[in-house]
């Protein structure tokens, strides 16, 4: 069953992406190289996240393993998709995006389980950090989709080794959805994931990785999320310092 779901997620993402590319041009979700931060020299559609999230969502629904926690995560991801798509089309302000990101993260963290106030704050901060870290790396061809696919696959392996396959299954489905999209995102990129993809996938990875913090932090196992997401987090930190 898991193999079928993995194949479904990969295939759906691969099949849906060309249609989403056409939709992106139609609705104006296009990345125009109008400043020095762009690495490309021509306009590229940037709503590929629609294909990634749709493939992930359908695979989860077909798998019939929905839990209360996963429903919360999917709803939060759906909200992030809508906010990101609005930004891809209309270029929302940074504080508007941050408001919706914070609201979605807080609602989902509270929805997936009971935590103390300090734990809730740390969890929300973690989800927001991964959301924006993955958003920042969606600029080079294949970079975001490749990183997300590797991270989702590694997250699945960690949960599988721990015997928590139910936690790991959504991660591998998300990884394969990113991998199917990457065929069109590799150099020379035909499309970008856009905010609706990078922020949404970062949000989903942040939420799906929260159970890894349920062990004592002094152990290496408790620090595994920091190692797993070291690249996007370090890139986020250097990008913020560089822009400042």
Contact 206, 130 (CB under 8 A): yes
Is the pLDDT at 217 greater than 90? The verdict is no
pLDDT digits (tens, 9 = 90+) for 142-185: 999 999 999 999 999 999 988 888 889 999 999 999 999 999 99
% of residues, the chain, pLDDT over 70? 93
- What per-residue confidence (pLDDT) applies to 40? 58
pLDDT digits (tens, 9 = 90+) for 26-85: 999 987 776 556 565 688 899 999 999 999 999 999 988 889 999 999 999 999 999 999
How far apart CA 7 and CA 33 sit, in angstroms, is: 35
Contact 201, 134 (CB under 8 A): yes
Q: How far are the Cα atoms of 55, 73, 75, 102, 240 from residue 68, in angstroms, in the given order?
A: 20, 9, 11, 20, 35
**Residue count of the chain:** 244
What's the DSSP call for residue 163?
Answer: T
- What per-residue confidence (pLDDT) applies to 216? 46
**Which residues, 6+ apart, have CB-to-CB distance to 65 below 8 Å?**
166, 169
């Amino acid at each position: 069953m898991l193999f079928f779901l993995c194949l479904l997620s990969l295939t759906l993402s691969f099949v849906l992406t060309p249609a989403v590319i056409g939709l992106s041009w139609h609705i104006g979700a296009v990345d125009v190289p109008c400043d020095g931060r762009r690495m490309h020299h021509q306009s590229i559609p940037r709503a590929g996240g629609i294909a990634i999230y749709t493939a992930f969502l359908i695979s989860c629904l077909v798998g019939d393993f929905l839990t209360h926690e996963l429903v919360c995560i999917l709803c939060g991801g759906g909200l992030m998709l809508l906010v990101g798509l609005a930004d891809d089309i209309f270029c929302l302000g940074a504080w508007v995006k941050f408001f919706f990101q914070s609201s979605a993260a807080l609602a989902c963290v509270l929805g997936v389980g009971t935590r103390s106030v300090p734990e809730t704050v740390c969890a929300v901060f973690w989800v927001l950090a991964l959301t924006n870290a993955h958003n920042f790396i969606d600029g080079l061809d294949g970079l975001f989709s490749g990183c997300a696919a590797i991270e989702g696959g590694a997250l699945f392996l960690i949960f599988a080794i721990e015997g928590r396959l139910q936690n790991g299954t959504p991660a591998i489905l998300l990884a394969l959805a990113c991998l199917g999209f990457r065929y069109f995102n590799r150099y020379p990129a035909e499309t970008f994931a856009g905010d609706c993809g990078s922020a949404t996938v970062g949000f989903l990875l942040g939420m799906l990785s929260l159970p890894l913090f349920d062990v004592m932090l002094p152990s290496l196992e408790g620090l595994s999320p920091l190692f797993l997401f070291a690249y996007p987090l370090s890139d986020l930190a250097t990008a913020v310092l560089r822009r400042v």
